[in-house]
């Protein structure tokens, strides 16, 4: 359920299996907490697409019933049942479409399918890290843990220099990028 109050948007989980809320929570997980990097402290809504980045990872989701007005929103706070966003018209968001498409060219990528129904995030994180390393890439485990909250991903990485390029994640309506360890 989305409640709009002046400049605030309050999103609440409606049921245990609330796909739209989980998609929004997935995107919010990439928000940065650094006060100095304004465009990384919130989410950008572009029609049905919600996107966020902290500079190390980018998360995007297509949310069918997204009724939030387009624009940038600061993340005020979130938990497992509520997300509070504050409209911020002063932020210009980077061209996320260009960034997501740049690293997603099939002809230049090694691909893998990953699925793990393990009950714990720790085990799925380890399993996902192993699959990423099989592709030749290296990523920070703290950021991989965010992607391990889902149980299935299609992975892509540049086949020429996998250690220097981001890992691309996609599954159904979610997409993400994770930068390599330098």
pLDDT digits (tens, 9 = 90+) for 74-114: 999 888 899 999 999 888 888 999 888 887 666 678 889 99
Provide CB contacts within 8 A for 98, sequence distance 6+. Answer: none
Instruction: Parse the chain into domains and list their residue ranges.
Output: 2-99, 103-178
Residue ranges of the chain whose pLDDT lies below 70? 1-6, 104-107
pLDDT recorded at residue 147 = 92
Q: Is 14 exposed, middle or buried (0-12, 13-18, 19+ CB in 10 A)?
A: exposed
pLDDT recorded at residue 2 = 58
CATH superfamily of 2-99: DNA Polymerase III, subunit A, domain 2 (3.10.150.10)
pLDDT recorded at residue 99 = 86
């Amino acid at each position: 359920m989305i409640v709009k109050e002046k400049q605030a948007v309050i999103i609440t989980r409606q049921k245990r299996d609330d796909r739209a809320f989980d998609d929004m929570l997935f995107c919010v997980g990439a928000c940065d907490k650094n006060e100095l990097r304004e465009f990384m402290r919130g989410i950008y809504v572009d029609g049905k697409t919600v996107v966020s980045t902290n500079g190390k990872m980018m998360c995007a989701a297509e949310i069918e019933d997204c009724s939030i007005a387009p624009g940038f929103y600061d993340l005020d706070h979130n938990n497992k049942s509520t997300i509070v966003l504050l409209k911020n018209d002063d932020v210009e968001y980077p061209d996320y479409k260009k960034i997501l498409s740049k690293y997603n060219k099939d002809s230049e990528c090694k691909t893998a399918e990953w699925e793990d129904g393990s009950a714990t995030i720790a085990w799925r994180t380890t399993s996902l890290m192993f699959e990423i390393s099989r592709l030749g890439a290296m990523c920070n485990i703290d950021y991989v843990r965010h992607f391990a909250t889902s149980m299935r991903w299609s992975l892509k990485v540049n086949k020429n220099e996998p250690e220097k390029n981001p890992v691309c994640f996609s599954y159904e309506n979610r997409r993400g990028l994770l930068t390599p360890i330098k």
